[in-house]
């Protein structure tokens, strides 16, 4: 049995006419004697409409339910296309991800494929000539539906081709292959007949959008030959395959570049039909190619660690205020933008603020500044509006396109780029969007803190600590719940926030603070840590003592490895395991052994008074705050 996998994207199945063209491609392959698996995406605009709907229903949609919702997009495509084939006398049936099943991990929104039941596919191929398979979806071993993230249908197709040993995997798009460079910019651009996986990966990460990076990685790993072809022509397209001797002698295969770009900003355009046409039609008549239109009603600035490390916080704040656009911070962006500023929506990410995540998911223009958007920063890249324009400013070209594709990458120092952007004097006209986010932020913040006898809630303590710290203080934060609480509640007013971010280096905070004090003895320095992290480097108390460093150490003692305890208490785990810190020492006695005084806090009513005493102490001091192990970072 000769098997071919064909994949068609959203614009190829947008409507009946388009689907008929796809049917033509299927017929051609059948005539060549192939049995087919046809992988389809959701029809154009469908996924965005579903996302939009989800956010009307919920501020923070459950990622698992979001996947259930999004998979309906492909379900619609495969059912309609199967009907079309059947009407034409072709033996076809639809197949959803869970029916196969395409088994994935449980990372809703960006799940990774673990296995595909090729035996089931082969059985069905005995009965049918065409299996119409829903791309972008799978299910966990527990039977929960998942989606694979942006570009997921390409990955589904390549994975099925790998599982079946398909001759080739044909990815149909609206271009007829991969070009040496953008043919719209350079008339001499040539279509490439063959390109290696490595070169394709390189070009994709530089911004060539023909194939999604993840699918190329998959094809490379399983040696699946991928052919990029056009739905609308009979051109054989470009074959992406393993490097051979002939290809190795080619040093440069293609260039992704932008030439002669001019940026034109039009402000105060009324939101009326026909206005854009009045602007763009004369441009088109003069032969001016409009490459990218950035028209934002819902802009969001994201302050990442690059703003802090590039000492660009003043420029970032000025830029945000000039633009008058909402701001979100990442874990590493802490301290880069004041926590109490009216434009802030809080921290994005898995443990972030609902207002910030809502802003991130609904924005139509994202300006990522010094943010590498790792998996902790964005729960699911799929959750981003698919039509959002993404401008990514980063000093490291390797970060561009690594975790998400950007519409416009700007490589350089954040401070300099922000200054240059400010010279252009743009201002966002987004009052309604900004106010809606401010309302949401206020509602989030007005939620009371939980209380339990014998314990103090870290969120409240940290808020009060943030208000008491000097504006130029440095706060060194460890890993775990204490880190997330610090990101969410500290609301600094310019203080330096030092943490190991997603790297998650437990035991970081205390030695980090010793480093800060060594370099800047006059600076006020606070440490935030959990009892697990503290025990990984508490021997540094000797350095604190020896250096006579005036460090203020806040230790949240919950008797568990809190963050792991929290994660294991939820799905899909079967309860916490190996997280109890039953061997916790008497921390007051440990501090005393180094000649360092301590205070213990277990009464909510005494937090303010104790903090004042703690910060007013001469020299180092350890504050042991008793925290309930049942509290979560979302409380």
Ligand X SMILES: Cc1ncc(C[n+]2csc(CCOP(=O)(O)OP(=O)(O)O)c2C)c(N)n1
Task: List interacting residues with ligand X (CB under 6 A).
Answer: 478-482, 504, 506, 530-533, 556, 558, 560-564
Closer CB to ligand X, residue 357 or residue 500? 500
Report the nearest approach of ligand X to the CB of residue 560 (Å): 6
Report the nearest approach of ligand X to the CB of residue 564 (Å): 5
Instruction: Tell me the C-alpha distance between 437 and 297, whole Å.
Output: 13
Three-state DSSP at 324 gives coil
Which candidate, 121, 40, 122, 47, places its Cα nearest to that of 84? 40
Closer CB to ligand X, residue 132 or residue 625? 625
The angle that helices 313-323 and 414-423 make with each other, rounded to 10 degrees, is: 30
> What tokens were used for 226?
């991928």
| Contacts of 626-629 spanning 24+ positions with Cβ under 8 A | 626/454, 626/455, 626/456, 626/557, 626/558, 626/600, 626/601, 626/602, 627/455, 627/456, 627/457, 627/458, 627/556, 627/557, 627/558, 627/562, 628/452, 628/455, 628/558, 629/558, 629/559, 629/560, 629/562, 629/565
Instruction: Tell me the C-alpha distance between 507 and 346, whole Å.
Output: 26
Report the nearest approach of ligand X to the CB of residue 496 (Å): 21
| Under 8 Å between Cβ of 148 and 113 | yes
Phi, psi angles (nearest 5°) of residue 489: -110, -10
Closer CB to ligand X, residue 110 or residue 558? 558
Residues 6 or more apart from 119 whose CB is under 8 A from it? Answer: none
Closer CB to ligand X, residue 204 or residue 481? 481
What is residue 557's DSSP assignment?
E
Closer CB to ligand X, residue 415 or residue 557? 557
Closer CB to ligand X, residue 299 or residue 530? 530
Instruction: Tell me the C-alpha distance between 148 and 20, whole Å.
Output: 27
Three-state DSSP at 348 gives coil
Instruction: Tell me the C-alpha distance between 549 and 233, whole Å.
Output: 72
Closer CB to ligand X, residue 465 or residue 506? 506
User: Which secondary structure element, helix H or strand E, spans residue 163, and what is its range?
Assistant: helix 152-164
Closer CB to ligand X, residue 383 or residue 501? 501
Instruction: Tell me the C-alpha distance between 169 and 438, whole Å.
Output: 48
Asked if residue 101 has a cis previous peptide bond (ω within 30° of 0), the answer is yes
> What tokens were used for 422?
């400010």
List the helix and strand counts (H, then E) for the chain: 22, 26
Instruction: Tell me the C-alpha distance between 555 and 587, whole Å.
Output: 9
Closer CB to ligand X, residue 287 or residue 575? 575
- For residue 590, the tally of other CB atoms under 10 A from its CB is 18
Residues 6 or more apart from 54 whose CB is under 8 A from it? Answer: 61, 65, 66, 69
Report the nearest approach of ligand X to the CB of residue 616 (Å): 26
User: Which secondary structure element, helix H or strand E, spans residue 148, and what is its range?
Assistant: none
Report the nearest approach of ligand X to the CB of residue 419 (Å): 37
Report the nearest approach of ligand X to the CB of residue 429 (Å): 42
Distance between first and last Cα of the chain: 57
Report the nearest approach of ligand X to the CB of residue 627 (Å): 8
Report the nearest approach of ligand X to the CB of residue 576 (Å): 11
Closer CB to ligand X, residue 399 or residue 531? 531
Closer CB to ligand X, residue 405 or residue 535? 535
Instruction: Tell me the C-alpha distance between 627 and 530, whole Å.
Output: 10
Instruction: Tell me the C-alpha distance between 285 and 392, whole Å.
Output: 31
Report the nearest approach of ligand X to the CB of residue 110 (Å): 21
Give the per-residue SS3 of 88-103: CCCCEEEECCCCCCEE
| Contacts of 243-252 spanning 24+ positions with Cβ under 8 A | 243/196, 243/197, 243/198, 247/194, 247/195, 247/196
Report the nearest approach of ligand X to the CB of residue 538 (Å): 11
Closer CB to ligand X, residue 365 or residue 506? 506
Report the nearest approach of ligand X to the CB of residue 444 (Å): 21
- For residue 546, the tally of other CB atoms under 10 A from its CB is 10
Closer CB to ligand X, residue 77 or residue 482? 482
Report the nearest approach of ligand X to the CB of residue 502 (Å): 10
Which candidate, 345, 351, 330, 350, places its Cα nearest to that of 635? 351
Closer CB to ligand X, residue 19 or residue 513? 513
Closer CB to ligand X, residue 423 or residue 582? 582
Report the nearest approach of ligand X to the CB of residue 523 (Å): 24
Closer CB to ligand X, residue 131 or residue 529? 529
Report the nearest approach of ligand X to the CB of residue 325 (Å): 33
């Amino acid at each position: 049995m000769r098997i071919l996998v064909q994949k068609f994207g959203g614009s190829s199945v947008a409507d009946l006419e388009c689907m008929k063209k796809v049917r033509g491609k299927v017929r051609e392959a059948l005539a060549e004697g192939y049995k087919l698996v046809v992988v389809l995406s959701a029809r154009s605009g469908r996924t965005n409409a579903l996302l939009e709907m989800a956010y009307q229903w919920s501020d923070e949609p459950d990622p698992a339910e979001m996947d259930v919702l999004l998979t309906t997009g492909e379900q619609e495509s495969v059912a309609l296309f199967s009907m079309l084939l059947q009407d034409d006398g072709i033996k076809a049936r639809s197949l959803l991800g869970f029916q196969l099943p395409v088994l994935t991990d449980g990372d809703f929104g960006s799940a990774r494929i673990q296995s595909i039941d090729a035996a089931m596919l082969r059985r069905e191929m005995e009965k049918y000539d065409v299996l119409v398979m829903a791309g972008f979806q799978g299910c966990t071993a527990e039977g929960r539906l998942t989606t694979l993230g942006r570009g997921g249908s390409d990955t589904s197709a390549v994975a099925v081709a790998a599982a079946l040993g398909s001759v080739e995997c044909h990815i149909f798009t609206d271009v007829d292959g991969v070009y040496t460079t953008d043919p719209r910019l350079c008339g001499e651009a040539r279509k490439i007949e063959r390109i290696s996986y490595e070169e394709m990966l390189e070009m994709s990460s530089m911004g060539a959008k023909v194939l999604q990076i993840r699918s190329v990685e998959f094809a490379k790993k399983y040696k699946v030959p991928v052919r990029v072809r056009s739905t609308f022509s009979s051109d054989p397209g470009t074959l992406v395959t393993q490097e051979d001797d002939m290809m190795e002698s080619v040093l440069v295969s293609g260039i992704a570049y932008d030439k002669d770009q001019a940026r034109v900003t039009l402000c105060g355009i009324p939101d009326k039909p026909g206005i854009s046409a009045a602007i763009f039609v004369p441009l088109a008549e003069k032969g001016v190619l409009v490459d990218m239109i950035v028209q934002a009603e819902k802009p969001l600035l994201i302050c990442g660690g690059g703003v802090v490390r590039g000492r660009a916080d003043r420029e970032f704040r000025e830029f945000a205020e000039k633009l008058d656009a909402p701001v979100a911070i990442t874990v590493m962006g802490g301290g880069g933008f004041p926590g109490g500023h009216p434009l802030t929506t809080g921290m994005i990410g898995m443990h972030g603020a609902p207002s910030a995540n809502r802003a991130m998911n609904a924005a139509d223009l994202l300006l990522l500044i010094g943010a590498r958007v790792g998996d902790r920063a964005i729960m699911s890249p799929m959750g981003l509006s698919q039509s959002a324009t993404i401008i990514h400013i980063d000093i490291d070209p390797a970060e561009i396109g690594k975790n998400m594709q950007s519409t416009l990458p700007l490589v350089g120092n954040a401070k300099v780029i922000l200054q240059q952007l400010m010279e252009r004097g743009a201002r966002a006209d987004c009052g309604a969007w900004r106010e809606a986010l401010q309302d949401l932020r206020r509602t989030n913040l007005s939620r009371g803190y939980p209380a339990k006898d014998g314990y103090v809630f870290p969120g409240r303590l940290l808020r009060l600590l943030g208000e008491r710290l000097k504006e130029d203080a440095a706060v060194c934060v460890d890993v775990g719940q204490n880190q997330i609480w610090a990101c969410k509640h500290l609301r600094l007013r310019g203080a330096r926030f030092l943490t190991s971010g997603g790297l998650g280096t437990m035991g970081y905070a205390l030695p980090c603070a010793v480093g800060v004090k060594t370099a800047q003895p006059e600076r006020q320095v606070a440490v935030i840590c959990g009892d697990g992290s503290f025990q990984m480097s508490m021997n540094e108390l000797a350095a604190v003592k020896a250096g006579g460093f005036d460090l203020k150490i806040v230790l949240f003692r919950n008797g568990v490895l809190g963050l792991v305890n929290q994660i294991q208490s939820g799905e899909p785990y079967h309860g916490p395991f190996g997280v109890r810190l039953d061997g916790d020492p008497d921390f007051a006695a440990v501090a005393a052994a180094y000649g360092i005084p301590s205070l213990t806090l277990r009464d909510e009513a005494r937090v303010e008074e104790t903090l004042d005493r703690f910060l007013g102490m001469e020299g180092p001091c350890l504050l042991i705050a008793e925290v309930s192990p049942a509290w979560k970072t979302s409380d």
